[in-house]
Structure 1
Amino acid sequence: MEISALKLSHPAKSLNGTVRLTGSKSESNRALIIQALGGGKVRIENLSSAADTVTLQQALRAASGQRGDSTQQTVIDVGPAGTAMRFLTAYLAITDGRYLLTGSDRMKQRPIGILVDALTTLGADVRYAETAGYPPLAIQGGFTQQTAHVRVQGHVSSQYLSALLLVASSLPQGLNLQIEGELTSRPYLTMTLNMLAEAGIQHRWEAETISIMPQTASPCQLTIEPDWSAASYWYAMVALANEANLFLPNLKSSSLQGDAAIVEIMTHFGVASSFEDGGLRIQKTTVHSAKKLFDFKECPDLAQTVIVCAAALKRDLSFTGLHTLKIKETDRIAALQNELAKFGVRLVEDGAVYHLHTEGLHSPEQLIIDTYEDHRMAMAFAPLALVFSNMQINEPRVVEKSYPDFWKHLKQQGFVIS
């Protein structure tokens, strides 16, 4: 039976012990594309169990089964999986076969024109099956490369760039990718290039241009680190608990993931981090900072978690680097504004800066949080059960997209969930 809502509370308001996080969705999805193009040479360890990763695995299997068959169209539906949509657009474009790549209603509202334009410049046959600039896409896979040079705007989504770089070494002429304008989410691009390097795929990055020559993968094992995005919710819980001391196994200080920025960010909210043998320990402290402005340009997936945490701590702060949030699983800015308002907090847009106003914060009789088909809304607001005694999260299954064990882990840490 579909669970439409969960009631949450945490009577003890203390956290202690070990939380074993799933593998990183971001690393896992890149690894799957590298493996698919790796000619059987690439093995993966600790693959994420997130729904987005399972979706991408299934899609790659479906494409593999149809490779070279142009007589019939293979329909691949990625549902709400944005990374899968972007990566598969590039992957299917170079893979023999006929494909219709589609997704959920929300996915059909998420732009993909920048990536399609780049692929068609290279010579790919990718067409819009419904609305120009948006999925679904009709893809005739396999193409004669027209050029190795493409220009792509860097400020909209790093996933467009990563999608192209992941397939670059399989192109007959390779790829010279020129990034135009400001680059958003640089750590995700660096992650892509580092993982390609682990598989023996070399690149050159000079000024605004990244070049990858035609080459094949080397035999390797890609070991997926636990998900720092998942860790970020535990940081928020530590910040909001009365006392907390948690151990998160296998997280590394030298992470490929941009969301490891949470370590530094949460020092300003009373959370201390220490890397020990085998993982990371996070503890509540009384040390806060007077920092007033936080920039999420490099780590936009942390924004909801930190903003909600700041609201609960009654910190009037300002935030930048949120421009990509409007084209995510939902319009995350509007969603945040709606849900924060339910306990008297305002998030006010002022050009590229957003200001948090907490003077009206109050404890409602019952706080009911809507999740907007967005996993991060559910997980960013769940820590508030440490602050508000009567709380409900609607459509809790959205967490399966990136962190399927989230509610189970909360129960293990003393949250009462019904």
Structure 2
Amino acid sequence: MAKHNIVLTKQGKTANGTIQLTGSKSECNRALIIEALSDGKVKVENMSDAADAVLLRDILKSEIREQRLEISQTNSLISDHQSQISTIDIGPAGTAMRFLTAFLPLLNKNIVLTGSERMQQRPIGILVDAMRKLGATIDYEKKDGYPPINIHPGFEQQTNVIEIKGNISSQYITALLLIAAKLPQGLELHIQGELTSKPYVEMTLAMLNQAGIRHTWADNVIAIQHQDFAETTLLVEPDWSAASYWYAIAALSDEAELFLPGLTSYSLQGDSVITEIMANFGITSVFKDGGVYLTKEAKPIVRKIFDMKECPDLAQTVIVVCAALGHEATFTGLETLKIKETDRVLALQTELAKIGVKLIEKGQVYKLDCSERNLPQRMFISTYDDHRMAMAFAPLAILIPELEVEDAEVVCKSYPAFWSDLEKVGFRSEKVA
């Protein structure tokens, strides 16, 4: 897909309208793995339009080809047929890389799993070590600890006890939990230290429960026995991460009345905490008529400290809103941002400097210094191949007359309709070379 920039403009500082969001990428990716493991018992509805989710769906369809995963007499998981070595390129899809690292060894195939240049810089070693201990044979094609990886056939479970650090990426834990019920001995996962992004692990377990998979969670140990999936349909809720950008738009507007259908107050998604965070910026959330209404009222911002540990995908959104409003807040829980699509901390520091704002790092604490804040008439935003950089900074067009955003198509990773949805509430976007 050819890359192009866009220039965003916005007449007036109001935002009114109804926005139908795509299905949650986080829920959808989990649901697709569950569906693939369920031998046809689980179906997925309200599939996400996100490029990452579409890619994972297509890979799973191609690799399993409706084959039934069974337990062999030698205590290994097998598919009906082995195939010659094949290569799967997941591009920049980090979730797919992690989920497939755990899933593909169960297929008894020889597969090289690779990705984009940035993906090959993102660590996978902790998960590979866990899969090796379980019984998978996985080699590194280039640098130890990083993709691409070569997954060999012949998985035979060696143990059901795995220890894994909790403060690196919850997706490692989720990847293991998703396959646990299919393992002949089940899985007992011991989480070492504090668990980062706990709501994402809770989402995984809740979705498995919907599919008939039971678990226990005592202290730092999550246990899932070998068991069969139940027949069910997993309905994917609209994406709260995508909703966060509409909360940002409301926060930067003088007036806002927005309706986001399909979102609920009892969501599995940890990013639904955006309702509580944005209440500090005068945004009221009312759940009725099968969705959530957002309204804006002027009020002073009092909260000074935001812990993003359990919702790191909201960090860019909230930090940019604070910077744009000149609110000098302190942020914690940003440790995982450095191993995302880009080093999001460095990217934020670089782009915020363009409006005179500093994001100062002191250990694991980050403080905004807005003393030299200055909103220019025109601004160029680099996106670093990161969809969330593009969408987190886009609302600045409410305050900056011309906002040029690099590589507009980067949003397709999670929210393909983002730019067209913006036009529904008065933004204008024009392609530039």
Corresponding residue number in structure 1 for 2:362: 350
Deviates more, 1:300-309 or 1:134-143: 134-143
| Aligned partner letter, 1:298 | E
CA-CA distance at 1:307 after TM superposition: 0.2
Cα distance in 2 for partners of 1:247, 1:93 equals: 43
Q: CA RMSD in A?
A: 1.1
1:58 Cα offset (Å): 1.4
- For the residue of structure 2 that corresponds to 1:286, the secondary structure is coil
The match for 1:401 is: 413
Q: Name 2:311's counterpart in structure 1.
A: 299
Cα pair 1:294 1:320 within 8 Å, conserved: yes
Residue of structure 2 in register with 1:54 after alignment: 54
Alpha carbons 1:63, 1:74 under 8 Å: kept:
no
Tell me the distance in 1 between the aligned counterparts of 2:25 and 2:113.
Answer: 21
The residue that corresponds to 2:252 in the other structure is 240
Which residue in 1 is equivalent to 2:74? none
TM-score normalised to the size of structure 1? Answer: 0.98
Give the letter for the 2:187 counterpart: L
Q: 109, 113, 118: which is aligned to 1:101?
A: 113
Q: What are the within-5 Å matches in structure 2 for residues 200-219 of structure 1?
A: 200-219=212-231
Structure 1 stretch displaced more, 8-17 or 308-317:
8-17
1:37 aligned residue = 37
Deviations 1:214-234 (A, max 9, x none): 011100010000000000000
Q: Deviation at 1:287?
A: 2.6
Using the TM superposition, give the Cα deviation of residue 284 of structure 1 relative to its aligned residue in structure 2, in angstroms.
Answer: 0.7
Residue aligning to 1:254: 266
The match for 2:73 is none
CA contact 2:357–2:373 (8 Å) conserved in 1: yes
Structure 1 residue corresponding to 2:302, chosen from 290, 294, 303: 290
**AA in 1 matched with 2:394:** A
Look up the match of 1:2.
2
Instruction: State the one-letter code of the partner of 2:256.
Output: A
Aligned to 2:372: 360
Equivalent position of 2:76 in the other structure: none
Other structure's SS at 2:297 match: strand
Contact 2:163–2:192 (CA under 8 A) maintained in structure 1? yes
Name the CA distance, whole Å, in 2 between partners of 1:195 and 1:87: 15
Of the candidates 234, 248, 252, which is equivalent to residue 222 of structure 1?
234
Shift of 1:62: 2.3
Which residue pairs with 2:341 in the alignment? Answer: 329
Distance 1:309 1:142 in 2: 51
Supply the distance in 2 between the matched residues of 1:157 and 1:175 (Cα, whole angstroms): 19
Which residue of structure 2 aligns with residue 134 of structure 1? Answer: 146
Equivalent residues in 2 for 1:12-27, closer than 5 Å:
12-27=12-27
Structure 1 contact 92–141 (Cα < 8 Å) conserved? no
Report if the CA contact (8 A) 2:24-2:237 is conserved.
yes
Query: Could you tell me which amino acid in structure 1 is paired with residue 40 of structure 2?
Result: G
**1:29 touches 1:53 (CA, 8 Å); kept in 2?**
yes
Structure 1 contact 69–98 (Cα < 8 Å) conserved: no
Find the residue that maps to 1:94 and give its secondary structure. helix
What is the alpha-carbon distance in structure 1 between the residues aligned to residue 335 and residue 151 of structure 2? Answer: 30
Residue 331 of structure 2 is aligned to residue 319 of structure 1? yes
Note if 1:369 corresponds to 2:381.
Answer: yes
> Gapped runs of 5+ residues in structure 1?
none
Q: Greater CA deviation, 371-380 or 286-295?
A: 286-295
Q: Report the alpha carbon displacement of residue 277 of structure 1 after superposing the two structures with TM.
A: 2.3
- Per the alignment, in what secondary structure is the counterpart of residue 356 of structure 1? strand
Q: Report the equivalent of 2:185.
A: 173
Contact 1:45 1:223 in 2 (8 A): yes
TM-fit CA distance, 1:365: 3.7
Cα contact 2:17–2:424 (8 A) shared by 1: no
Aligned residue number for residue 93 of structure 2: 81
Cα deviation for residue 71 of structure 1 reads: 4.8
Structure 2: distance between partners of 1:259 and 1:292: 20
Structure 1 outlier segments of 4+, above 6 Å: none
> Which letter maps to 1:20?
Q
Q: Deviations over 1:336-375 (max 9, x none)?
A: 0000001111000011100001111112242000000000
Deviations along 1:151-200, one digit per CA (max 9) or x if unpaired, are 00000000000000000000000000000011000000000000000000
1:281 paired with 2:282, answer: no
In the aligned structure 2, how far is the partner of 1:289 from the partner of 1:5?
A: 34
Other-structure match for 1:380: 392
Identity over aligned pairs, percent:
55
Q: CA offset at residue 141 of structure 1?
A: 3.7
Distance 2:81 2:140 in 1: 21
Larger mean CA deviation between 305-314 and 286-295 belongs to 286-295
Q: Distance in 2 between matches of 1:55 and 1:104?
A: 14
Q: How many residues align?
A: 418
**Following the alignment from structure 2 to structure 1, what is the Cα–Cα distance between the partners of residues 385 and 154?**
34
Q: In the alignment, residue 22 of structure 1 is paired with which amino acid?
A: T
State the shift of 1:3 in Å. Answer: 4.5
CA distance in 2, matches of 1:3, 1:34: 34
